[in-house]
Amino acid sequence: MVLVKSLEQLGKYTLFLCKTFSIPDKWRTFFKRTVQEIIKLGVDSIPLVIVISLFIGAVITIQMQLNVTSPIIPAYSVGLATRDIVLLEFSNSILCLILAGKVGSNIASEIGTMRVTEQIDALDIMGVNSANFLVLPKIVAFVIFMPVLVVFCIGTSFVGGWGVAAFTDLISVSRYVYGMQAFFQEWYVWYGLIKSLFFAFIISSVASFFGYYVKGGALEVGKASTNAVVSSSILILLFDVVLTKLLLQ
């Protein structure tokens, strides 16, 4: 029964994406809406990304220093491990799990409210492809802006770690910076960016899907918002495994 329901949902989601990915009625309106969404979903998320990254970068550095202290492990390993954790997992997977909460619930509740207040019906009656008009700019905007957020996250996390080195006695700044630069693999940056594009698509499309098919009232909009966050989080973790296997092996 669960399997049948899941397959039904998958089919519905696929049809929804087909409806969404069609040529916009007015390109000018599409570009205008995409810019608005970039500001709303992307630029407005920067403060959250900075705050979280700063603290998590600092925490990773402290944890590394406290747990990896050993005579046989070089001191610069703290910087190296912090860098690789941030590049490989935190700046993409964990960041996207956090953004699934912020951006995903925002999208699902906005579109869900439009559905229950008949605004989507009004678009359909006018002959506007409502899925294309409302959802495509969100997906495009978030996918475009996600790499920027990832870069912000990486930079701020490193600053957080540097702050620990600079303002505490745990590790010297020179060793931290040396570790940051040691054995650097450029591919890790690309790996993180590629993963983040997939996750951005999952967050925006899944949240839009749950919002678009809301039936009922305010209570159902809340439920849809929660379901959107839960589903996109699970999908992010699932795709994290698949993409890691594909991109790092």
Partner 1 sequence: MIEVKNITKSFDGKTILHDVSARFFSGKTNLIIGQSGSGKTVLMKSIVGLVRPEKGEILYDGRDFLKMSDSQIKSLRQEIGMLFQGSALFDSETVLGNVMFPLRMFSKMTRGEMTDRARFCLERVNLAGAESKFPSEISGGMQKRVAIARAIALNPKYLFCDEPNSGLDPKTSILIDELLHDITHEYNITTIINTHDMNSVLGIGENIVFINKGHREWVGDRERIFTSSNEALNEFVFATRLFQEVKDYIISTGHARQRSTSAES
Count helices and strands in the chain by DSSP H and E runs:
11, 0
Q: Please state the closest distance from residue 43 (CB atom) to partner 1, in A.
A: 17
Quick one: which of 14, 67, 69, 117 contacts partner 1 (CB under 8 A)? 117
Quick one: three-class SS letters along 117-128? CCHHHHHHHHCC
Residue 124 makes contact with partner 1 by CB under 8 A: yes
Quick one: which of 15, 39, 125, 248 contacts partner 1 (CB under 8 A)? 125
Instruction: Using CB under 8 A, count the residues that bind partner 1.
Output: 13
| Residue 41 amino acid letter | L
Q: Please state the closest distance from residue 215 (CB atom) to partner 1, in A.
A: 12
Quick one: which of 29, 172, 174, 181 contacts partner 1 (CB under 8 A)? 29
d(CA 64, CA 76): 11
Burial 221-241 (b: 16+ CB within 10 A, else e): beebbebbbebbbebbeebbe
Quick one: which of 47, 71, 127, 245 contacts partner 1 (CB under 8 A)? 127
Residue 220 makes contact with partner 1 by CB under 8 A: no
Quick one: which of 7, 43, 51, 122 contacts partner 1 (CB under 8 A)? 122
